[in-house]
Amino acid sequence: MKRCHSCGLSIGDTATFCATCGATVSAAAACPLCGAAAEPADRLGLCPACTAALALLISSDGAEPTALSIAAGPPAPHERTTIATAVYSAVADHETCPQCAAWDGRETTDVDEARAWAPNPRCSAPGGCRCLVLFEHERLADGEPAAFVEFAAARSLTPTGAAVAAFHDERRRRAAETEARVADALTLAAEARAREKSEPAAAAALYRRAIESLLGACDAPLEERRVLRELPGAFNRLTIVLKGMGLDAEALGEIESAASLGLLDRDDCGRKADREALRHREARLRERLDAPVAEAV
């Protein structure tokens, strides 16, 4: 959704003027984060203001994407941009008063409010308050800015530490979901392997479910290392079972599916032995299926 460059309110993506203030809307591309004119735009299509804000959030010189600092004073403007959360931290020993103990772990995104937390004005400890306020700084690692801009634009977020924290939380959630689906696929494949000789039809169905689970593990499964590691092996075992059942055409079809995904030619997926086995099996099946059927005498 674009925003009016004059009043800042949302307008339609195809609007040529703002119905609220009457300002004419520039035909220039809009910044995906703030909606302002993105001329001149950077490589991510951002306006100069968002480009400058994003630059403060990108880790440099090998700095950790997430870091802590003690709120000893007002943060500098560039530090304020990276702060995602402020956390109250009590010493938690026998000298800690009940009030400070109750506040331990309290969080806020209001930096100015957090600076007034410690020393705690309600502390009743004889030696005075020893509590601290910690600022949690979030930054983007190399390779993350483009994905962050896409994430933030979809949620109308601006380049801040809190937005980066939400981005990282979402990535962790998706990674956990992918890991769970890959684990489900491995369980199915293990069950299939155990039933190959006794129940080949059931084993084939389980291998197909395992492949479906792998391909549905994330939005871009063919870019996910954990998925690529398992797919060639699952296709290899499935085609072995189908060929053993005399279902040569089905086996060849599954190999063609694997080939269409690029699994037979990519060196970065699965075991080399599985990829070579699929290629050799494909050649043999094509020879067999193309051979003319002998006439009965």
Q: Is 237 exposed, middle or buried (0-12, 13-18, 19+ CB in 10 A)?
A: buried
* Whether pLDDT at 27 is above 70: no
Question: Given this model, what pLDDT does residue 297 score?
Answer: 37
In the prediction, which pLDDT does 142 show?
84
Cα–Cα distances in angstroms (integers) from residue 228 to residues 71, 217, 218, 221, in the given order: 45, 11, 12, 7
β-pairing, 66-70 with 10-11? unpaired
Instruction: For residue 5, give the nearest of 81, 45, 14, 28 by alpha carbon.
Output: 28
Instruction: Give mean pLDDT, residues 30-35.
Output: 85
* Pick from 29-33, 136-140, 227-231: least confident: 29-33
Read off the pTM.
0.68
Q: How confident is the model at residue 291 (pLDDT cuts 50, 70, 90)?
A: low
* Residue spans per domain, the chain: 66-138, 171-290
Instruction: Give the residue carrying structure tokens 């000298």.
Output: 95
| Whether residue 296 has pLDDT greater than 50 | no
Q: 11 versus 296: which is more confidently predicted?
A: 11
Residue 225 burial by CB count (10 A; 0-12/13-18/19+): exposed, middle or buried?
exposed
Query: Average pLDDT of the chain?
Result: 88
Q: In the numeric block, which tokens belong to residue 105?
A: 């772990």
Question: Residues of the chain with pLDDT > 90: what percent?
Answer: 65
| d(C-alpha 237, C-alpha 88), whole Å | 55
Quote the Cα angle for 151-152-158, to 5°: 165
Mind listing the pLDDT tens digit for each residue in 162-182? Answer: 999 999 999 999 999 999 999
**Whole-number Å distance between alpha carbons of 286 and 239:** 13
Helix axes 200-215, 225-244, angle to 10 degrees: 160
Of all residues in the chain, what percent carry a pLDDT higher than 70?
Answer: 86
Give residue 205's pLDDT band: very low, low, confident or very high (50, 70, 90). Answer: very high
Lowest mean pLDDT among 42-46, 143-147, 193-197, 254-258: 42-46
> Is the pLDDT at 24 greater than 80, yes or no?
no
User: Angle at Cα 46 formed by Cα 40 and Cα 47, nearest 5°?
Assistant: 50
CA–CA dist 230, 100 (Å, integer): 51
The confidence score (pLDDT) of residue 62 equals: 61
Q: CATH number of the domain at 171-290, please? A: 1.25.40
List, in sequence order, every residue forming a beta bridge with 134; answer none if it has no partner.
70, 87
Tens-digit pLDDT profile for residues 219-260: 999 999 999 999 999 999 999 999 999 999 999 999 999 999
Q: Which residue has the higher pLDDT, 40 or 91?
A: 91
Residues 6+ apart with CB under 8 A from 225: 268
